Structure 1
Amino acid sequence: MSNQQIIIAGGNIKPMTGEPEFTGSILVKDSKIAKIMKHSAAEVDEDEESAFREMFGLSTEEPVHIVSARGKWVLPGFIDAHCHVGIGEEIYQHEGDDLNEMTDPLTPELRAIDGIHPEDEGFRDARLGGVTAAFTCPGSANVIGGTGVVVKTAGRVVEEMILRDPAGLKIAFGENPKSVYGEQKKMPMTRMGTAALLRQALVDAQNYREKLEQGQKDLDKLPERDLGLETINLVLDKKIPLRAHAHRTDDIMTAIRIAREFDVDLVLDHCTEGHKIADVLQQYGYPAAVGPSFTNRAKVELKDKTFSTPGVLNKAGLKIAIITDHSVTPIEHLPLCAAMAVRNGLEEEDALKAITIWPAEILGVADRVGSLEVGKDADIVVWEGKPLSFEATPHTVLINGLIVKPE
């Protein structure tokens, strides 16, 4: 459906702003939330178009499409704060695998946007499942894998989908870099090697920045451009965070140790054993994108995985997001991951925050998505059934004010 005025009429609205849920209607105009009106279900006949026009001050000449939400739940679109949708395509083997450039352990110059295929079936699954935005990034084969991007899950080309680019620099600790480069008989073969390579890359970027500053005063001292070091300097300047793949407690602490040494921002991705050291992590306050937990113990680092981790970290005062790591867990199962966290101790309201406003804040896009507020992007999902219940299904999905479900 073309971008037009849409009224989400008479639903049970959970704005995810901290305000309690209420019955009301939402006017969508020009891809944004234009107005939100509170009213009781009895105040307006859902079949009476003129009543909704009057409520929002629309003339009879203005085209409007009404989506009945009576008896349904209306929430902002869900956000997956760490996945690989569009880069590691599900139905392909080599052809659609653009996840890891396993030729050099340090590849900060790589950009996820150059590997994303908008026609990946994962995007369709996401939006039909109520997931309207995601942070997608390179894999964890390299110590530094490249930059990730926050995208909407609908669009013909990547440029139509971007919310924030770059949105973080992917780094990886633990077994993955060891196994990839250990087999090649090159560094890193150990956790010490991984940390050393990362530290040296950060130091190299500091030195490069100093040379750039000198070159501004004396052009003869201006260094040749280095795209990788330029990217790392975005981290050093706190324009983007490090996104640290870390499962085990020792790897989590190494990520924190290095982030503190270089005074950079950090997001702990996976944080699988974070529940073991929640009191320690509380001292540092770095946010955690937790998951995937809907998977088997495919490697030793997942030995103690549990759906209780989000709740434990949340109670320790850490900002959390629940993630799928798609395609490890299919992205459309993000609400089921949140429901399992509730089953294992996370409050339901906090579980919803962990797939809406909190990931938006962690990803630096809360000014546009993550809650239902006037002026924000019209990424809205109308749910049949309570969103984290097993029976819940998206009835209508809007992304940028366009109805993408039903298709």
Structure 2
Amino acid sequence: MTAKAAALIACMLVASTALAQDVLIRNATVHTAGAQGTLRNADVLVRNGVIQSVGNGLAAPAGASVVDAEGKALTPALFGGITEIGIEEVSGESSTDDAAVTLANQPMRPEFDVTLAYNPASVLVPVARVEGIGFTLLGATTGGSFIAGQGGVVRLDGSADPIGPKALFVRLGSGALGLSGNSRAAQWMLLDQMVAEARGRVPADSPHALLTPAGRATLARYLAGNGRIVVAVNRAADIRQLLRWSQREQVRIAIAGGAEAWKLAPQLAQARVPVFVDALAALPSDFDQIGTTLENAARLRAAGVPVGFHQAGDSSHNARKIRQLAGNAVVNGLPWEDGLAGLTRVPAEAFGVADRVGTIAPGKLADLVLWSGDPLDVANTAEQVWLGGRAMPMRSRQTELRDRYLRDAGALPRAYTK
């Protein structure tokens, strides 16, 4: 194939995915991640980017493309976790990292919103997407304050704007001691003062105010239940205080990390707090995680806690590993269906986008993935991803580099190959 022909085919592929198409996916093992559970030899009909029907023997409308799944697994597009995809390009290059704010004057800035810096053309978007990931929660990271700022859910379909309500990110425990006077007790003192300011119990012109007027308004929205506060915390004692605080202030929280959350599983279940766990954490990495166990997810779910998954470390560049977390949780006692739900329905419900994504059901966006085998087994791959009914190009910069350097060298070295 000539370079010109290859370029023409690439252009045609991009054009063909620009508009949602009618698609009938036949003979799939449909893991709905919803009330219907798993359906064998089932069909999914997509019209105008939305799932119209799920069942058996569905007829293809005129002009629809038909895909024979040959019994393979079809799932909702997966949640990539809490990441910085599109707001961090190269970890070591500060000009490409927009996930944190550090201000010397009034460092407490809950109004900081990382979604304003989201770049849908980031090379990390297709890197994650070809692995079956269709949406992620952009998270603010701690810079000058343990109140990190806001983020939101984005779909990895090339759209520029987040969907659903915003989330506020907070870090508690030893990981934020340097931002709270080297005392975790001071974190609650400062948090209580900020709540008092947001509720109008502290004069706006107080010389000791921690928040700007915009910060007060932002925090007040979360205190009124408009959006979820995502708290990175691990130690059971800190989680206990967090539950007391959230119940006292009547706020909606989620926990990211939660290494010792299993110790408070009944209380978390009663409070209906979702926990996003690192299911690869096997040993304590600090004194907040002495009670770390690979059975964390299974114990939480057995008590009735909604369980999702959270990667510690480089989650943006390695979002694909979140499938490994779910599979590892299943190996350690989590039911398989709950492992899939933790990658689909649970995060969609937790972050207010379940009306659009997270399950395969009529009326939902056709964000779907056809797998070569069990999606929780990392030996298998995503064969095709559809987002809003559009077949996504199954390539990324990583696959292009792979293909380039796997080719036989021609007259010139591979470095000169187009």
Query: Normalising by the residue count of structure 2, what TM-score does the alignment of the two structures yield?
Result: 0.81
Deviation at 1:305, TM superposition (A): 3.0
Query: Which residue of 8, 11, 31 corresponds with 2:49?
Result: 31
1:319 corresponding residue in structure 2: 306
CA contact (8 A) 2:279 2:296 kept: no
* Equivalent in the alignment of 2:293: 306
1:48 maps to which residue?
none
2:119 aligned partner: 117
5 Å-filtered alignment, 1:68-217, equals 68-90=68-90, 92-103=92-103, 105-141=107-143, 142-155=145-158, 158-159=160-161, 162-166=162-166, 168-179=167-178, 181=179, 187-207=180-200
Equivalence for 2:262: 275
Residue aligning to 2:25: 8
Q: What corresponds to 2:414 in structure 1?
A: none
CA offset digits 1:17-51 (Å, max 9, x no partner): 23232212222222211222314xxxxxxxxxxxx
SS at 1:207's partner residue?
A: coil
**1:294 positional shift:** 5.7
Amino acid at match of 1:95: S
Residue 373 of structure 1 and its aligned partner are, at CA, apart by 0.7
Name the aligned partner's letter for residue 37 of structure 1. G
Structure 2 residue aligned with 1:22, among 12, 29, 40?
40
Structure 2: which amino acid aligns with 1:102? T
Deviation at 1:75, TM superposition (A): 0.8
**Aligned residues of 2:279 and 2:329 also touching (Cα < 8 A):** no
How far off is 1:7 after superposition? 1.9
- Are positions 1:246 and 2:246 aligned together? no
Is 2:357 the counterpart of 1:369? yes
Post-superposition shift, 1:81?
A: 4.4
Give, in angstroms, the shift of residue 225 of structure 1: 8.4
Which residue pairs with 1:218 in the alignment?
none
**Partner secondary structure for residue 364 of structure 1:** coil
Greater alpha carbon shift after TM alignment, 135-144 vs 197-206: 135-144
Is the Cα contact below 8 Å between 2:279 and 2:297 reproduced in 1?
no
Q: 1:325 to 1:29 in 2, by over 3 A?
A: farther
Give the aligned residue type for 2:187: T
Alpha-carbon separation, structure 1, partners of 2:285 and 2:84: 18
Instruction: Provide closer, same or farther for how the CA distance between residues 84 and 301 of structure 1 changes in structure 2, counting only shifts above 3 A.
Output: farther
Q: Is the 8 A contact 1:84 1:327 kept in 2?
A: no
RMSD of Structure 2 on Structure 1 (CA): 2.5
Q: Is the 8 A contact 2:197 2:203 kept in 1?
A: no
Q: 1:280, 1:24 → 2: CA distance?
A: 39
Q: 1:73 to 1:328 in 2, by over 3 A?
A: closer
Partner-residue secondary structure (3-state), 1:158: coil
Query: Which shifted more, 309-318 or 170-179?
Result: 170-179
In the TM superposition, what whole-angstrom CA distance separates every residue of 1:57-81 from its partner, at most 9, and x where no partner exists?
x23xx3x222221131111111134
Which of 314-323 and 99-108 deviates more? 99-108
- Looking at structure 1, the residues matched to 55 and 203 of structure 2 have their Cα atoms a distance apart, in angstroms, of 54
Aligned residues: 367
Structure 2 counterpart SS, 1:289? strand
> 2:32–2:360: 8 Å Cα contact kept in structure 1?
yes
Q: Select the residue among 358, 370, 378 that pairs with 1:382.
A: 370
Q: Is this contact kept in 1: 2:87–2:96, CA < 8 A?
A: yes
Residues 85 and 327 of structure 1 are in contact (CA less than 8 Å); yes or no, is this contact kept in structure 2? no
More displaced stretch, 331-340 vs 66-75: 66-75
Contact 2:171/2:231, CA 8 A, preserved across alignment: yes
Give 1:93's aligned amino acid.
E
Aligned counterparts of 2:122 and 2:91: Cα–Cα separation in 1: 9
Distance 1:94 1:291, change over 3 A: same
Deviation track 1:314-358 (CA, whole Å, cap 9, x = no partner) reads: 001111112225624721111111000011110111111111111
How far residue 299 of structure 1 moved from its aligned partner, in angstroms, is: 3.9
Secondary structure, aligned partner of 2:95: coil
SS at match of 1:202: helix
Shifted more, 110-119 versus 371-380: the winner is 110-119
SS at match of 1:245: strand
Asked whether the 8 Å contact 2:165–2:352 carries over to 1, the reply is no
Amino acid paired to 1:15: T
Identify unmatched segments of 5+ residues in structure 1.
40-51, 182-186, 212-223
One-letter identity of the residue aligned with 1:86: G
Moved beyond 6 Å, runs of 4+: 208-211
Post-superposition shift, 1:89? Answer: 2.9
In structure 2, do the counterparts of structure 1 residues 92 and 32 end up closer, same or farther at CA, with 3 Å as the change threshold? farther
Shift of 1:272: 1.1
Read off the aligned partner of 1:378 and give its amino acid letter: A
